[in-house]
Amino acid sequence: MKNSSLLFIFSLCISFQISGQTLFVKNPKIGINTPIPVQFENSSGLAGSWIGFYRESEPDGNYISFQYINELKNGEVNFPGWKQAGIYNFRLFKDNGYAKIATSNSFLVVQGMIIDSSFGK
């Protein structure tokens, strides 16, 4: 009984650690050619880890661009603005391959993101 309880606690710790990675884009809409900040937490910390920029519907091998984060576990990287409207996301991979450990929220790249403070007045 004691061994099964320890095994259960150990399993919970492992699942918490595996699912603890976060990849996040702050704004749900981003204008064309606007730099895109991407925040990450609890990355693998392995050399060769990277973040890829994707059209939401594409498989992991079809990234648009990527940046290495290597041994960084937490931080923010800025991707250059994109010129095509659509729905995109970022994906976090460990160890210089396609071992995905997190996917960001999806966001829209839209044309004409100008804030008009006079709208509705």
**Residue 6: exposed, middle, or buried by beta-carbon count in 10 A (0-12, 13-18, 19+)?**
exposed
* pLDDT score, position 18: 46
Phi, psi of 98 (to 5 degrees): -110, 35
In this prediction the pTM is 0.77
What does the pLDDT look like over 49-91, one tens digit per residue?
999 999 999 999 999 999 999 999 999 999 999 999 999 999 9
pLDDT value of residue 14? 40
